[in-house]
């Protein structure tokens, strides 16, 4: 039965009265909304979309000239607003992504919030982020974590600006109403610039767990995942594959790693999956779809995403959103393609929304 059809035809006046009553009582009958409430597969409002890094960076530079950073606004961060999400500052329904720009010698004040955050550094160095009192250097290719409720502020120690990618679970936190925020001190007293953070000195040794840290910690205690390690891990996979070993890469010519929590082996952040991918020149990631939404950023190289049949060419720094259940394949150009990706997959997996029978998993979106 369709309520709309019923409404269009001359109908029993008692039914007209009933719909008025529903409305007055704040009720909506399922039969008029079934397709929205129970679609056959995810029909995301978010759309596949690309933001050019060159354009983001150029606007960030202008913001750097015109907008001071300090207490109140807190961060000179410019968020990616997915065109399908009605003007919200959300890249996907669950993920927030932004370019953050810190000018020469600028300071972003200390605060903390319940939302989990990371920074991924496309280029540059010279900023230290101080996480729960631990100064952490930010350099090209590094992934830096700011788990929920950790105090954090940033300071640029150089006379050059620096920009990076911020990712947070703000939209998820907002949907669940789990947001808390607290301002820290107005001044950043610790301007020290150690090469290695305390977190790395304790946790940053492959496969070695300190006996002082045998209890699992739900948010990774390792504040920094350094490019030198990520790069070596990806290089190792591709080298072994070239030597004829099987099962060492994600797909032929496609090396990939997940940033993980050294105490549990789970995702580095409880709500956000973070990964690095490397495709050999000319290699491709075959088409697949996933019950999770992602944001990808090109770290190095050029290539293309094909999302739901639409081709999106990408180059250095470009960001692409891939909505839940969109079919995506990726092609490297004439050189190697390095890609950073983050997604809401840990949340989906914890809630077991990803376990579907194959017959359902074959349904298409377009």
Interface with ligand 1HN (CB under 6 A): 75, 77, 98, 100, 108, 113, 117, 152, 166, 168, 170
**Minimal distance, residue 234 CB to ligand 1HN, in Å:** 27
**Minimal distance, residue 154 CB to ligand 1HN, in Å:** 6
**Minimal distance, residue 119 CB to ligand 1HN, in Å:** 7
- Provide the β-strand partners of residue 39: none
Tokens of 264: 């549990």
Which C-beta is closer to ligand 1HN: that of 108 or that of 284?
Answer: 108
d(CA 225, CA 101): 21
Residue entry with tokens 């490019």: 227
From the number of C-beta atoms within 10 Å of its C-beta (0-12, 13-18, 19+), residue 91 rates as buried
Give CA torsion, residues 195, 198, 204, 207, to 10 deg.
Answer: 150
Which C-beta is closer to ligand 1HN: that of 95 or that of 202?
Answer: 95
Which C-beta is closer to ligand 1HN: that of 225 or that of 305?
Answer: 225
Judge contact between 95 and 293, C-beta under 8 A: yes
Residue entry with tokens 């329904």: 93
d(CA 114, CA 180): 5
Which C-beta is closer to ligand 1HN: that of 97 or that of 345?
Answer: 97
**Minimal distance, residue 42 CB to ligand 1HN, in Å:** 26
**Minimal distance, residue 145 CB to ligand 1HN, in Å:** 11
d(CA 96, CA 298): 17
Which C-beta is closer to ligand 1HN: that of 31 or that of 183?
Answer: 183
């Amino acid at each position: 039965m369709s309520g709309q059809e019923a409404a269009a035809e001359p109908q029993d006046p008692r039914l007209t009265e009933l719909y008025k009553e529903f409305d007055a009582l704040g009720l909506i009958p399922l039969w008029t909304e079934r397709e929205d409430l129970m679609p056959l597969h995810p029909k995301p409002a978010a759309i596949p979309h690309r933001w050019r890094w060159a354009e983001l960076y150029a606007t960030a530079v202008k913001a750097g000239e015109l907008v001071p950073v300090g207490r109140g606004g807190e961060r000179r961060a410019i968020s990616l607003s997915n065109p399908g999400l009605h003007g919200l500052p959300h890249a996907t329904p669950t993920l927030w992504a932004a370019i953050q720009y810190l000018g020469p010698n600028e300071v972003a004040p200390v605060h903390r919030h319940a939302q989990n955050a990371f920074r991924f550094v496309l280029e540059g160095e010279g900023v230290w982020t101080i996480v729960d009192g631990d100064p952490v250097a930010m350099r090209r290719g590094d992934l830096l974590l700011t788990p929920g409720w950790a105090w954090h502020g940033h300071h640029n120690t150089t006379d050059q600006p620096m920009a990076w990618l911020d990712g947070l679970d703000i939209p998820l936190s907002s949907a669940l109403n789990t947001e808390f925020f607290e301002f820290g001190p107005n001044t950043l007293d610790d301007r020290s610039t150690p090469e290695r953070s305390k977190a790395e000195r304790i946790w940053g040794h492959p496969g070695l767990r300190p006996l002082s840290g045998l209890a699992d910690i739900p948010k990774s205690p390792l504040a920094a995942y350094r490019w030198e390690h990520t790069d070596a891990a990806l290089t190792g996979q591709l080298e072994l594959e070239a030597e004829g070993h099987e099962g060492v890469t994600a797909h032929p010519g496609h090396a990939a790693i997940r940033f993980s929590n050294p105490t549990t082996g789970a995702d580095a952040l409880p709500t956000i999956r973070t990964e690095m991918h490397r495709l050999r020149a000319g290699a491709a990631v075959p088409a697949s779809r996933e019950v999770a939404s992602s944001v990808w950023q090109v770290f190095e190289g050029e290539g293309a995403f094909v999302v739901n049949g639409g081709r999106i060419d990408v180059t250095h720094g470009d960001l692409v959103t891939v909505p839940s259940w969109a079919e995506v394949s990726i092609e490297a150009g004439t050189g190697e393609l390095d890609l950073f990706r983050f997604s809401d997959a840990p949340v989906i997996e914890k809630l077991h929304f990803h376990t579907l029978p194959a017959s359902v998993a074959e349904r298409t979106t377009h």
